[in-house]
Amino acid sequence: MNYLLGVDGGGSKTAVQIADTSGKVISRAVSGSSSYKSVGINRAIGNLNTAVFDAIKKVPKDIYLNTAVFDAIKKLKISRSIYFISSCFGFAGHDAGEGPKIYKKIVFNKKLRNYLNPRRTIICNDTRIGLKIGSESKNKIIIIAGAGSNCFGINEDGKEAGASGWDFILSDEGSGYSVGLKALKAIMKAYDGRGEKTLLSKTILEKLGLNEIPDLIKWAYGGLFSKDKISRLAETVGNTAKMGDKVSIDILAEEAEEDVISVITVANKLGFKDKDFDLIFVGSLFKCEEYFKNILISRLRENFPKITFLPLVGNPTGGAIRMAIERLKD
């Protein structure tokens, strides 16, 4: 049977939806990160396959077994009776450097490629699928502030522009990773006496189940590097800011300002200074309203009086499904 596949491959998780050709979602699954810059190519392939094939297993059997070919299909495994006539994969960091080449290798891996239609398989940046589901406006921008950060927009003339999104070494300001890393450095500065005392020295240790500050060394450097484990500390920074911790408040304000710069940069490239346009928020940092989201909103209103702020109501995988439907028309 023919189905549509939508994938949101981020720095912290991979979300998958399977839909029929009308776009009705019939199965979902989630696994670990499929960002090769965060977990490496092999783990990215493994996590992508886990999510896709878990979703395949959840497809109700009666959808495709109650057919004229029931007797032939029932002897096969579920996955072998499914084919994705059109699919869309949105990955964090896709547009940077060798991203397109590497993500093509990840998608068309040995296990998954036989289920895909190469002519109707879209591989793009995750900002595109978020923008697709986030707004119907012709003028729109998406700002991602999750494990990583990215900003992308399009105007009524079809012009596209982006900023940031170069990942954790070159450019991940305004992200959970950047917040978490600054928190760790602030703790070490306070421990040495090089910086202000901060409640993070207590709250981060409690979060990680550690007893003393030097225990952070083994936690930070032991095992494989994981961008995700550092980005998860951002939630603790937000909670500590609510306790009145100045260091935490300053970190969040600095990172909000970084996202403001990205939005302003993209908006100016697209000529939005005096135009109506939507800004879609995506990412866990926006859960911290007082010390992150509200700062960003206030600063952007100063620059763009006609801006409309929209939280992402739909799932980015829904945007991937929409793009897969559009590819059917090609």
Q: Is residue 26 part of a domain?
A: yes
β-pair partners for 153: 141, 161
Structure tokens belonging to residue 33: 């990160």
Tell me how far CA of residue 263 lies from CA of 28, 97, 267, 270, in angstroms: 32, 22, 6, 11
pLDDT band at 62 (very low <50, low <70, confident <90, very high): low
Domain housing 60:
2-132+315-328
Domain holding 42: CATH number?
3.30.420.40
Domain count, the chain: 1
**19-33, 58-72, 168-182, 223-237, range with the lowest pLDDT:** 58-72
Q: pLDDT of 297-319, one tens digit each? A: 999 999 999 999 998 887 899 99
Query: What mean pLDDT is predicted for residues 192-197?
Result: 97
**Mean residue pLDDT across the chain:** 90
Whether residue 170 has pLDDT greater than 90: no
Q: Is residue 69 part of a domain?
A: yes
Q: Is residue 182 part of a domain?
A: no
- What pLDDT is stored for residue 73 in this prediction? 38
Whether residue 110 has pLDDT greater than 70: yes
Q: Is residue 144 part of a domain?
A: no
Whether residue 228 has pLDDT greater than 80: yes
Whether residue 86 has pLDDT greater than 70: yes
Q: Is residue 221 part of a domain?
A: no
Q: Is residue 93 part of a domain?
A: yes
- What pLDDT is stored for residue 10 in this prediction? 84
Whether residue 72 has pLDDT greater than 70: no
Q: pLDDT of 112-127, one tens digit each? A: 999 999 999 999 999 9
Q: Is residue 74 part of a domain?
A: yes
**59-68, 105-114, 152-161, range with the lowest pLDDT:** 59-68
Q: Is residue 260 part of a domain?
A: no
Query: What mean pLDDT is predicted for residues 221-250?
Result: 93
